[in-house]
């Protein structure tokens, strides 16, 4: 979850910076749009990597929970 919050904050910062650049540039809209596209690609790569991490953590949590369930039933039976 922290990774998603970090990505959202980075996106917000990028949007603010790009809005300022677009406002200041005026004539350089094509180069600004190119920069926006490159930043968007970078953010998509970051999001893809955080999704992989999130999936891995979810799988590990599930394995630990299953092990805990089995161990607790055995110790209660003893």
Question: How many structural domains is the chain composed of?
Answer: 1
pTM greater than 0.85 = no
Range of 69's domain? Answer: 2-77
Q: Half-sphere exposure (CA, 13 Å, Cβ side) for 45? A: 6
Q: Tens digit of pLDDT for each residue in 7-59?
A: 788 888 888 887 777 776 665 666 767 888 888 888 888 888 888 888 889 99
The dihedral sign for the CA sequence 7, 8, 9, 14: positive
Check if the beta carbon of residue 50 is closer than 8 Å to that of residue 10. Answer: no
Long-range CB contacts (< 8 A, 24+ apart) of 49-57?
50/3, 50/4, 50/7, 53/3, 54/3, 54/4
Reported residue count of the chain is 78
């Amino acid at each position: 979850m922290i990774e998603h919050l970090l990505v959202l904050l980075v996106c917000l910062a990028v949007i603010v910076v790009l809005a300022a650049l677009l406002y200041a540039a005026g004539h350089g809209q094509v180069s600004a749009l190119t920069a926006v596209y490159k930043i968007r690609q970078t953010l998509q790569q970051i999001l893809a990597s955080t999704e992989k991490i999130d999936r891995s953590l979810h799988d590990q949590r599930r394995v630990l929970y299953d092990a805990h369930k089995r161990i607790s039933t055995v110790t209660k039976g003893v």
